[in-house]
Amino acid sequence: MNNALLQSIQSPADVRRLSRSELHLLAGELRDYLLHSVSQTGGHLSSNLGTVELTIALHKVFDTPNDRIVWDVGHQTYPHKILTGRRDRMGSLRQLGGISGFPRRDESEYDTFGTAHSSTSISAALGMAIGARMKGEHRKAIAVIGDGAMTAGMAFEALNNAGVAGADVLVVLNDNDMSISPPVGALNRYLARLMSGRFYANARDTAKSVLKNAPPLLELARRFESHAKGMVVPGTIFEEFGFNYVGPIDGHDLDALIPTLENLRQLKGPQFLHVVTKKGQGYKLAENDPVAYHGPSKFNPAVGIKPAAPGKPTFTQVFGQWLCDMAEVDTRLVGITPAMREGSGMVEFESRFPGRYHDVGIAEQHAVTFAAGLACEGLKPVVAIYSTFLQRAYDQLIHDVAIQNLPVVFALDRAGLVGADGATHAGNYDIAFLRCIPNMSVMTPADENECRQLLYTAFLQDHPTTVRYPRGKGTGVEVQQAMTAIPFGKGEVRRTASPSTGSHGKRIAILAFGTLLYAALDAAERLDATVANMRFAKPLDGELVAELARSHDALVTIEDGCRMGGAGSAVLEALQEAGIVIPVLLLGLPDQFIEHGDPAVLMSKCGLDAAGIEQAVLKRFGGRPSLVRPAVHQ
């Protein structure tokens, strides 16, 4: 792998010194380095291969970091990271203590805004542009946003504001969902350069000045310009927002990108550049299957991704199978996803029930209220959504679903820590922000089989429900295909401690919420503790809590969510209402954002593995011999 030119790049200042021919060589080396680097660490690939030339062109033309580039979502910023002094750290990508897979302000001055959720870039860039204007500073603000992110309402809210604010902001639409069509050729390149040039801008402003006293002629001129541009470009809608639209141009053609960006850099006011790129560009396997190569694990670039070996199903697969099975027996079921078909396990459902499948785009707010509308008509919507993305629709959750007590089922994938994607994607807060909502129920299955049965239980209810489950595989328990409703709001005792040994020991009861049940059971073998599988964070099984409190000397709650306001807090509230005073230890995620890294390592660092649970109990309640049993060796 020859990357001699790339090795000479320590910052974008080095990029700006290169000739056009050297930039073409740099693009080849950067793409090659990117492919081999991600194959060693895993991470987002297709989207990053598609932004190589665009990244080079942006850093070539703009004076970064003085000029601000905001990358929407940010999973396409690996070329940006490599060119901004982090090439030698790419081997630590998404690993504990390593660099993030998304932009982070505390990682580099070139990461001007932290991102990972979609459709925030235009708002942030506009704020930066207005801020520079208020301070009298001359700099450009650029938002790079994908066509998928443009489906979210927030992006259009920002466009609407930017058009009237008149700030010097450039929106670059990275359109990678369509092939480069015939209009994106020599003629279109010429037109893009013409429309982004100062002559065209000055002529347009002069015409407006001359015709402003003749409104009918001015309106005629505006319509002529709009229709003339509309014949060759699809930019009328962005012009209506007050932007000067340029494009579409080939996002892999540096000879088109650089002069067009240079022209746009000279213009005042809101500018909009439409570039067309191809996911996986330059690596045929990713070009042919960009979805498979969106976020691969480690692989051999010469061979490609190997099919996963059959094994125990993931929670996502369990949900997908349940969804299809439930749809077979109940025609009221409707499946909804905000642009996460593959990630939420809905590929088979779409294939088998296309008329009952709705991908609403990256529009979580719309997804929730859309489901509410369906429920009003007697249908049974199931919204498959990541825990971290449900946060974006909190108002709709309360106002449109819960207040009206509509029977919408929320299947919350990626609950708890998610590992390599880090704090922006972790589902740490759902128990806390859901259980405080009236009419809402929150279910926490302990394993794959219980996940299926609780999904069925949720579907049977006549009010809003959520079932939260983690990313990846569980313990490998057998998943029963028959669906059996679990008694609503009831937990179960899975292990009972030995009778009390008197004043020299304490009987401990561990109340486990979710998949940490199995770590709790392991710890309980050493502690000789009772373990309850609580199943429901709301409604909480208050009778079981009171029973365990009266028969034990102390309680321990454990959850893979935030401690503050979580399931442990619900237990404290129940004890207070029952007038029971007993020592309680709350175990859960700490009041801090958890970094990216291996999930098992992160859980251990948070003290939520079996060893951590045991140590926390011993530290709080003492390590008396009568409390601790010898470890059981298998």
pLDDT > 70 in the chain, percent:
88
Secondary structure (H, E, C), 431-450: HHHHHCCCCCEEECCCCHHH
Location of structure tokens 């098992």: 600
Contacts of 625 (CB under 8 A, 6+ apart): 504
**585, 616 contact by CB (below 8 A):** yes
388-395, long-range: CB within 8 Å, 24+ apart, which pairs?
A: 388/117, 388/414, 388/418, 388/424, 388/425, 388/426, 388/427, 389/117, 389/338, 389/340, 389/364, 390/364, 390/430, 391/429, 391/433, 392/117, 392/364, 392/365, 393/364, 393/365, 393/367, 393/368, 394/433, 395/365
Given pLDDT bands bounded at 50, 70 and 90, which one contains residue 207? Answer: low
Instruction: Please tell me the distance from the alpha carbon of residue 71 to that of residue 108, in angstroms, as a whole number.
Output: 14
**58, 254 contact by CB (below 8 A):** no
Residue 135 structure tokens: 């301070």
Q: Which residues of 307-331 are buried (b: 16+ CB within 10 A; e: fewer)?
A: eeeeeebbbbebbbbbbbbbbeeee
Residue 528 structure tokens: 């000789």
* Count of beta carbons in the 10 Å neighbourhood of residue 66: 12
**321, 453 contact by CB (below 8 A):** no
Diameter over CA atoms, the chain: 98
Return the H-helix or E-strand segment holding 627: none
Q: Express each pLDDT in 529-588 by its tens digit.
A: 999 999 999 999 999 999 999 999 999 999 999 999 999 999 999 999 999 999 999 999
Residue 21 structure tokens: 């021919």
Q: Among 388, 381, 524, 533, which residue's Cα sits nearest to residue 465? A: 381
Instruction: Please tell me the distance from the alpha carbon of residue 276 to that of residue 186, in angstroms, as a whole number.
Output: 14
Q: Among 562, 534, 550, 615, which residue's Cα sits nearest to residue 429? A: 562
**292, 31 contact by CB (below 8 A):** no
Residue 512 structure tokens: 């486990």
Residue 137 structure tokens: 């500073």
**550, 557 contact by CB (below 8 A):** no
Q: Express each pLDDT in 56-115 by its tens digit.
A: 999 999 999 999 999 999 999 999 999 999 999 999 999 999 999 999 999 999 999 999
Secondary structure (H, E, C), 204-237: HHHHHHHHCCCHHHHHHHHHHHHHHHHCCCCCHH
Secondary structure (H, E, C), 494-542: EECCCCCCHHHCCCEEEEEEHHHHHHHHHHHHHHCCEEEECCEEECCCH
Instruction: Please tell me the distance from the alpha carbon of residue 412 to that of residue 343, in angstroms, as a whole number.
Output: 12
pTM recorded for the entire structure: 0.87
Give the mean pLDDT of the chain.
Answer: 89
Let me know how long the chain is. 634
- Please check the confidence at residue 161 and state whether its pLDDT lies above 90: yes
Q: At 423, is the secondary structure helix, strand, or coil?
A: coil
Q: At 120, is the secondary structure helix, strand, or coil?
A: coil
Q: Among 46, 258, 281, which residue's Cα sits nearest to residue 180? A: 281
Q: Express each pLDDT in 595-616 by its tens digit.
A: 999 999 999 999 999 999 999 9
| Active site members | 279, 364, 392
**196, 263 contact by CB (below 8 A):** yes
- At residue 223, the pLDDT reads 55
- Bridge partners, residue 381, by sequence: 334
The amino acid that residue 469 corresponds to is Y
Residue 364 structure tokens: 């979580």
Question: Measured on CA atoms in the order 293, 297, 301, 306, is the torsion positive or negative?
Answer: negative
Q: Express each pLDDT in 418-467 by its tens digit.
A: 999 999 999 999 999 999 999 999 999 999 999 999 999 999 999 999 99
Instruction: Please tell me the distance from the alpha carbon of residue 429 to that of residue 388, in angstroms, as a whole number.
Output: 8
Per DSSP, the chain holds a count of helices (H) and strands (E) of 26, 17
Q: Express each pLDDT in 124-154 by its tens digit.
A: 999 999 999 999 999 999 999 988 888 888 9
Q: Express each pLDDT in 253-302 by its tens digit.
A: 999 999 999 999 999 999 999 999 999 999 999 999 998 899 899 999 99
Q: At 16, is the secondary structure helix, strand, or coil?
A: helix
